[in-house]
Amino acid sequence: MKERKAVYVLFILIQSLVYGIGNPLTKTAYDSITPFWLLTFRFALAFLLLFLWRGRKIAGQLKDVSWTVWMPSALCCAGAYISCNLALNLTAATNVGFIMSLPVLFAPLLSTIVLRTPYQWKRLPLQLITVIGLFLLCCNTGTFTFGPGEALALFDALCLAGLLVFGEQAISQMDVTSVTTLQVGVTMLISLVCAFIFDDLSVPGRVDFNAWMVVIYLAVICTIFAYLLQNSAVEHLSASTVSMLQCTQPILTAIVAYFLLDERLNSAGLAGAAVIVICLLADGAMNRVSPQ
């Protein structure tokens, strides 16, 4: 049993690495494509591939369950991606990275409200220390302001927590592929509507080759592959555990950015990375003593 759980822990770590590569690549794509159009093409391609793969089974499951089972997680998915991309355009990526990691606090609280799971108060100090580590890692200059971009990033964090918790609820009644496909499909539709309303309709004709390659990577690896990993893990791990493991994403992003963008962490950032790793190890030890 412990060995099987270790596999799902590895799934989330792989997902974090995939996103760590995808975040710097996304920034390079914005040279020729806007956030709404990138999201539209990314999720349209992902939805098409998923539906071609398992469309018949997905359609069958839709007949057997109410839309209220899968829609909350799908709306949280759309809200997370849209608010994140808008936040990156309005404030520093370090601020967004810090606030996006707050599901480590929000997911256990939301899980208590939605799933009626008891809140483990003994984990709260560890979660708060993790947030301090994330602050050091992502805001290592010591400056922190709160404006529209930060507000959108906070909304993104809430949506990410909701995605984990409502995803856990949906997967209890549907298979992983169906839930993932519906999350992707709803995100695609909302992104497309936003692109038509708020964006320039001439953008798709000006997208360069490199940006299209990024879209393909984001669709196939960061969306299909990474979300199947996440939803598979949520089926066997609690939402709070998954959110804690996802705190490794800023660390992996920093490592990839060092090689791709020559971005370097200062001593505060390195200290923050160390704090996060220590908290994750402590959280794992706590789970072994008191399994959820």
What tokens does 291 get? 């399994």
Q: What is the pLDDT of residues 48-107, one digit of tens each?
A: 998 888 888 888 888 888 888 889 989 999 998 888 878 876 766 666 666 666 676 677
Please name the residue that has the structure tokens 């789970």: 287
> Residue 231: its pLDDT value, please?
72
Structural domain containing residue 283: 2-289
User: How far apart (Å, rounded) are the C-alpha atoms in residues 158 and 149?
Assistant: 14
Q: What is the pLDDT of residues 140-189, one digit of tens each?
A: 555 555 678 778 887 888 888 888 788 877 887 888 788 888 999 999 99
Position 195 confidence tier, pLDDT thresholds 50, 70, 90: very high
Q: At residue 266, does pLDDT exceed 80? A: no
**Angle (nearest 5°) at CA 178 between 173 and 181:** 140
Q: Going by C-beta distance under 8 Å and a sequence separation of 6 or more, which residues neighbour residue 193?
A: none
**Angle (nearest 5°) at CA 113 between 112 and 116:** 55
User: How far apart (Å, rounded) are the C-alpha atoms in residues 229 and 248?
Assistant: 15
What tokens does 7 get? 């596999």
Number of structural domains in the chain:
1
Q: Let me know: does 111 contact 117? Beta carbons within 8 Å.
A: yes
User: How far apart (Å, rounded) are the C-alpha atoms in residues 78 and 163?
Assistant: 9
- Give how far the C-alpha of residue 176 lies from the chain's centroid of Cα atoms, to the nearest Å: 16
Q: Let me know: does 79 contact 131? Beta carbons within 8 Å.
A: no
User: How far apart (Å, rounded) are the C-alpha atoms in residues 103 and 162?
Assistant: 9
> Residue 221: its pLDDT value, please?
92
